[in-house]
Amino acid sequence: MAEPWPLPDPVALAIPAFILLLLLEIAVARWRGHDAYELRDAAASLTMGLGNLALKILLGGVAVAATVAVHQHRLFDIGYAWWAFALLLPLEDLAYYWFHRLSHEHRVWWAAHVNHHSSQHYNLSTALRQTWTGTVAMTWIVWLPLAWLGFPPAMIAFQQGISLVYQFWIHTEQVGRLPRWIEAVMNTPSHHRVHHATNPRYLDRNYAGIFIVWDKLFGTFVPEDDAEPCRYGIVRNIGSFNPIRIALHEWVAIAADLARARTWRERLGYVLGPPGWSPDGSRQTSKQIRAQASRTIPGGR
């Protein structure tokens, strides 16, 4: 079942458009007097993006090999029919939702994903602040069931690229709300601003990639509230523009916690528990922060 034509890499094709949109956003933000960009922050984000590309070239073969191996044992011969592309769009997006949700709910995957949230700015350069350690953390296993179902690995990679390109433009404060029907179905700048915010009521919400319907279906959707502007970053902001620190800080923190852990329960909790878990409850998870806020702030759910 060879590809009927070589599928393009959507991300590589989109790079010139990414650059033009970044330049446009910088100009619009400046014109509006918004404090959207900062040189060292943008440089860090773009370096993370470049590092992600380089590491994909170096290590991406591991995920490809695993996907091809699983595809050898596929349930169905799906092939490259038009309906297969149409069917893969929502299914890949569902896989993305769970990859993203698990990356926020379990510290070992959060360590690979946290760098994407580490900027205290929210602009198109933040979209490019991509992981350096996702392949090593094996976050790609979430997509393997698609290969097992029978979707060709090249088609899955193509759809992942489409999803990544879609998610670029939603990292902006320069687009307000879109028409209601779009906001109801699609992931939009408004929904994704909530996802990047650390306000307790916004924490760990809106995991969607392309379609926001998954969050509505699984109970993780929160709309942006104009009365509560988003504060961007992470609960404990790192305050560093050093790409190495950005990429590795949570891994270093896990290692330090493991060195202090006394039992296997503690070790497992530090690695597989939610970010903020501690055996003595001295730190707070997102759930605990939300619960505390709902007790102290009216409407702080």
- Shortest spacing between CB 148 and other proteins, in angstroms: 26
Token readout for 67 is 């996907």
Q: With respect to other proteins, which residue has the nearer C-beta, 177 or 245?
A: 245
* 233, 126 Cβ separation under 8 angstroms: no
Decide if 41 contacts 122 (C-beta within 8 A): no
Q: Does 59 bind other proteins (CB under 8 A)?
A: no
Give the residue, chosen from 18, 96, 109, 110, that forms a contact with other proteins under the rule CB under 8 A. Answer: 18
Least spacing, CB of residue 298 vs other proteins, in Å: 15
Residue of 32, 236, 265, 287 that binds other proteins (CB under 8 A): 236
22 binds other proteins (CB under 8 A): yes
Which of 1, 30, 176, 272 forms a contact with other proteins (CB under 8 A)?
A: 30
7 binds other proteins (CB under 8 A): no
Binding of residue 64 to other proteins (CB under 8 A): no
| Region from 49-57, 143-151, 209-217, 267-275 binding other proteins, contact rule CB under 8 A | 49-57
Applying CB under 8 A, among 67, 103, 125, 135 the residue interacting with other proteins is 125
- Of 62, 64, 92, 96, nearest in space to 78 by CA: 92
Is 125 or 131 the residue whose CB approaches other proteins more closely? 125
Sequence-separated (6 or more) residues with CB below 8 Å from residue 294? 200, 201, 300, 301
* Binds other proteins by CB under 8 A, chosen from 120, 278, 288, 294: 120
Among 66, 248, 261, 271, binds other proteins (CB under 8 A): 248
Which of 16, 219, 281, 298 forms a contact with other proteins (CB under 8 A)?
Answer: 16
Contact residues for other proteins, defined by CB under 8 A: 9, 11-12, 15-16, 18-19, 22-23, 26-27, 29-30, 35, 37-43, 46, 49-50, 53, 56-57, 120-121, 125, 231, 233, 235-241, 245, 248-249, 252-253, 292, 296
